[in-house]
Structure 1
Amino acid sequence: MRENADKASRPLTVADALALPVLAAGQPQVVTGVDHLDRQVRWVHITELTDPASFLKGGELVLTTGMPLPEEPAGVRRYVDELAEAGAAALVIELVRRYHRPPDALVDACRARRLPLVTLAADVNFLEVTQVVHALLLGNQTDAVRRTQRVHEAFTALTLRGAGPEDVVRAAADMSGRTVVLENLVHQALICEPSGSTIDEALTGWEQRSRSVPSRERAEVCGDEGWLVAPVEYQGERWGRAVMLPAPARAGLSDFGPADVTVLERTAMALTIARLIHATPWERTAQRSALRELVEQRHHSPEDAHARVAALGLPAEDCGFLAVLVETGAPEAAEDRLSAELRTAGVPALVGALAAGRLGVLLALRAAQPWRPTVERLSRAAFTLDPDAVVSVGSEVTELSDAARSFGEAGRAAEAALPGLPLPEGRSFHELSDIGLRRLLYALREDIRVQGYAERQLGRLVDHDTRHGTDLLATLRHYLDAAGNKTTAARRGNLSRETVYQRLRTIERLLDCDLEAGERRTELHVALAALDVMRAR
């Protein structure tokens, strides 16, 4: 759909006009200005005057039989100079009545002024040419008005429903068929909606490329790469830019046209309004999106992932990466606080909410840079806001594409953070290596297979204690914790050895087992640990 719209919206050029049957019948030959046949034709002007330039406004295809051309070369040069100064698109001369070959003076003058000179070897009805070309031009203008109206209606609808910046940028890319990027004042690419290209192609080296492209007061094509850029404002001040990138050659799109300018101008306006409606800073939103793409591995390639985070200012080369998760009841405050701590520490990172109550942090670490001091600093900041916060880390990885694995490990460490179970001295965060039996069972506490196992192993004993007011489960716990030593179990339970013996026989009868069997004791010990962690919820 975009390809057809692009063809329809493309301005009529000199080359297009010469290809029309009404002119092609005259056997046109381009004598000079073959490199300028892409000039836009805005009108057709038939003239037999010696000074037609006074009737031109620019962009005219000038048709003549050659009758008014002066004889002397100086007059011919003056004639051509006036056409060029007036901005004529091309001069078409019929070689039927006065001339059978173009005068040398005319050829030289047109070549000097880079004005396309086209000869017609056969008679052509100039009036018919005028009618055909003008009909095309007026039809294109009508189509352009309709397209502009559709663009305005689409962006008005987006604004009225309170669309966010991602929706606006995506709509611009869909309408134009080109990649559209939203960047802030420090040239960080916050949103990139690729079309006809990859994120890697669009964003690699973004900051350096963007800084070479000057800003303008309105939508204009700028820079060596020919970006179409438009300013985005917030509360009367420039906040960033909307950028439409030229299409790759393989996409088959022409240079930017009026329709593209209209789309980008309306994009910038819609983004300005969206900035007023959506209070969350877009830099934060961009980091959240980038983190979720990494965690969920939604990037199309490792190169896309590198380009995406690098365009947000995070080093993606020659560094290591570490995932940190923070479970907290104050996620928004923690997001601000952790971001500030990292800026103060000078540690590049992406920070953003991954889910309700869960923040993700991806640290970019220089070679041999210790990560523990940074994580300890983040933990202290999180505990200041929420004493019950849980901070966990994954393992350090060298490839950005492995960040998802690091986040997965941090997630497993967080899931196994059993309340009340102390961490090693001097450490305030959880690691995967912390997961022993109790933490593993705590992480699996919702699994019905674990629940069923605990019930099958200990259910009858728990039921007996409930019905009879006994405390056999506690005796079993002391016995198992003492590795089968009855004397130790008696001391821990403040019981006589005879009472412990009696209770253990009752337990064996209720559970139909031999407590002297090592494997059976292990099974019961695991079941008891599972029961404990399920009761700890």
Structure 2
Amino acid sequence: MNDDHPPGHGPTRALTVADVLALPVLATGQPQVVTGVPHLDRPVRWVHITELTDPASFLKGGELVLTTGMPLPDDVTGVRRYVDELADVGAAALVIELVRRYHRPPDALVDACRLRDLPLVTLAKDVNFLEVTQVVHALLLGNQADAMRRTQRIHEAFTALTLRGAGPEDVVRAAAEMCGRTVVLENLVHQALICEPSGSTVEEALTDWEERSRATGTDDRAARGAADWLTAPVEYQGERWGRVVMLPARSDGPAFGLEDITVLERTAMALTVARLIHPTPWERTAHRNALRDLVEQRHRSAEDARARCAALGLPADGSRFLAALVELRAGGAGTEPEARLFQELRAAGVPALVGELAPDRLGVLLALRPSQPWRPVVERLCGLALGLAPRAVVTVGSEVADLSDTARSFREAARVAEATPPGQPLPADRSFHELSDIGLHRLLYALREDTRIQEYTEQQLGRLIDHDAQHGTDLLTTLRHYLDAAGNKTTAARRGGLSRETMYQRLRTVERLLDRDLESGEQRTELHVALTALDAVRAH
């Protein structure tokens, strides 16, 4: 029997007309395809031998019909009716033996089959039809048993995912691996939240996603859409929340099968359960993941990044971009500020991705029109952020023209945030901080944990600090007044409430302890930097 297996017939593909014709049991009859060559990929559900004039009444569709031609009507009308009934019931093909009644297929039969796109196959030699049915049915039953085993494995795999509390990313990834097709999870407004490509790129899968998705229509069960997508609804607390989409393979790939439908249905069920046990809204998770991938430059290509962001509703073409960080400084504020900030920005008509990048730190990627000034948009963002968290601090990076450069903008915003001490006053003309605000004090504050800064501070001022601690003096303050006065002893004495003689005496002591010449501009600069760094370290 092994010789009768169809060439190239794998365990996941239905037996087709072409497969059956290639079997040795039929090949001995020298089969010739007369009509319907483009339809030889039709699946064969069963083999039916008939010598009846109305065989269609015994068929259910998908049968390969075998006949000697003896029952064919003699008149053209009767032949057409015979073929029409086979085509209407969905027969896979008609195979006629040219041995007993005919030695060439009747023209009326050929014309009728061609008109109805029904494959007509002739056999030049006698074939044992019973043996054909035995071989084909054995293959079909074997395939059904294999399909049942594979279906069982699908159910077991998704049951295991559900029992271990798998998140939506794990579920979608498992579905793509099982069926070897790209799988996408979208919400009700056709934003692609999760995309697991298989045999394609994110760009190929998500380009013009919303437009393509809306064209497929919706269905309450696993079904093919207008774009030949396979879709299934995902529910949450009894209401439709979104849907999971399985995209077709490339043009030369296999069509959807029953196993694909099974995978998609179980995917939708597993996602419904995951939606119940994972409290963070998936839109927020999608924004977080997209932002983190941009910040860490984890996208496969710039085109993939643009397609993914566009599928989340961010205008990616023809826009300019600006990264902002919102430091909540509220201590465990949860997801509420994140969700509310996104909702407020959307209500204000500001396209943006909003997601938590670290505890109490929200990342915001703003998409700006080509001629739109960014400062008013950031001011609006600040107003919304302060309304949600009064202690919030907003920092921004530089405006960039391409989505692939947003990582730089986020790095700049992060540097500004690191250089902004608690309570740092805002500039008089705005409510956010930017790169130009970073002076010496804030630069050293950002570097305060660097051991080189700490060693430099101790090397420059350590002896003076120790002397004050041991003798109860405050020479460090005297030095501070002197340096702040740019070396003007009279001004320094007045600020310290000292006489000029006392100021001179204390400065000589400082010079002796530090082995420094306070008349040297360079050495005063070194001490001023050390004193500023000391303030930054102590502020921490």
Q: Deviations over 1:334-390 (max 9, x none)?
A: 223322331232111111111111001111112232322332233233334433322
| TM superposition shift of 1:259 | 0.7
Contact 1:64 1:93 in 2 (8 A): yes
Contact 1:6 1:253 in 2 (8 A): no
SS at match of 1:352: strand
Which residue of the partner structure matches residue 158 of structure 1?
161
Which residue of the partner structure matches residue 284 of structure 2?
284
Contact 2:284 2:339 in 1 (8 A): no
Give the TM-score of the pair, scaled to structure 2: 0.94
Which residue of the partner structure matches residue 229 of structure 2?
227
Matched, 1:524 2:519: no
Greater Cα shift, 42-51 or 26-35 = 42-51
Contact 1:331 1:358 in 2 (8 A): no
Closer, same or farther: CA 257–320 of 1 in aligned 2, 3 Å: same
Which residue of the partner structure matches residue 304 of structure 2?
304
Contact 1:331 1:353 in 2 (8 A): no
Q: Deviations over 1:266-297 (max 9, x none)?
A: 11111122222222222222111111111111
Distance 1:341 1:402 in 2: 26
* Paired AA for residue 232 in structure 1: V
| TM superposition shift of 1:321 | 1.1
Extract unaligned runs of 5+ from structure 2: 1-7
Closer, same or farther: CA 493–331 of 1 in aligned 2, 3 Å: farther
Q: Deviations over 1:305-348 (max 9, x none)?
A: 11111111111122221111011123533223322331232111
Q: Which runs of 4+ in 1 moved over 6 A?
A: none
Which residue of the partner structure matches residue 418 of structure 1?
421
* Paired AA for residue 424 in structure 1: P
Q: Deviations over 1:474-528 (max 9, x none)?
A: 1111111111111111111111222222222222222122222221111111111
| TM superposition shift of 1:407 | 0.8
Contact 1:178 1:245 in 2 (8 A): yes
Which residue of the partner structure matches residue 341 of structure 1?
344
Distance 1:196 1:165 in 2: 21
SS at match of 1:31: strand
Alignment of 1:38-187 (within 5 A): 38-187=41-190
Matched, 1:13 2:16: yes
Contact 2:9 2:19 in 1 (8 A): no
Contact 1:155 1:266 in 2 (8 A): yes
Extract unaligned runs of 5+ from structure 1: none
Distance 1:423 1:112 in 2: 80
Contact 1:337 1:381 in 2 (8 A): no
* Paired AA for residue 219 in structure 2: R
Distance 1:40 1:421 in 2: 73
Closer, same or farther: CA 385–185 of 1 in aligned 2, 3 Å: closer
SS at match of 1:453: helix
Closer, same or farther: CA 87–317 of 1 in aligned 2, 3 Å: closer
Which residue of the partner structure matches residue 208 of structure 2?
205
| TM superposition shift of 1:248 | 2.0
Q: Deviations over 1:132-179 (max 9, x none)?
A: 111110111111111111111111111122222111111111111111
Contact 2:47 2:136 in 1 (8 A): yes
Contact 1:333 1:385 in 2 (8 A): no
Closer, same or farther: CA 258–46 of 1 in aligned 2, 3 Å: same
Q: Deviations over 1:92-112 (max 9, x none)?
A: 112223322122222222223
Which residue of the partner structure matches residue 314 of structure 2?
314
Distance 2:64 2:156 in 1: 35
Alignment of 1:331-370 (within 5 A): 332-370=335-373
Distance 2:85 2:207 in 1: 47
| TM superposition shift of 1:233 | 1.6
SS at match of 2:157: helix
Which residue of the partner structure matches residue 36 of structure 2?
33
| TM superposition shift of 1:84 | 2.5
* Paired AA for residue 215 in structure 2: S
* Paired AA for residue 310 in structure 1: A
SS at match of 2:522: helix
* Paired AA for residue 143 in structure 1: D
* Paired AA for residue 266 in structure 2: R
SS at match of 2:11: helix
Closer, same or farther: CA 531–221 of 1 in aligned 2, 3 Å: same
Which residue of the partner structure matches residue 391 of structure 2?
388
Distance 1:128 1:274 in 2: 51
Closer, same or farther: CA 331–57 of 1 in aligned 2, 3 Å: closer
Contact 1:331 1:359 in 2 (8 A): no
Closer, same or farther: CA 243–506 of 1 in aligned 2, 3 Å: same
Give the number of equivalent residue pairs.
531
Matched, 1:253 2:253: yes
Distance 1:70 1:428 in 2: 91
Distance 2:341 2:81 in 1: 73
Alignment of 1:405-444 (within 5 A): 405-444=408-447
SS at match of 1:181: strand
* Paired AA for residue 416 in structure 1: A
| TM superposition shift of 1:6 | 9.7
SS at match of 2:298: coil
Contact 2:280 2:335 in 1 (8 A): no
Closer, same or farther: CA 421–112 of 1 in aligned 2, 3 Å: closer
Greater Cα shift, 92-101 or 518-527 = 92-101
Matched, 1:193 2:196: yes
Q: Deviations over 1:46-86 (max 9, x none)?
A: 22333333322221111122233333434333333332233
Distance 1:397 1:510 in 2: 51
SS at match of 1:172: helix
Identical-pair percentage: 77
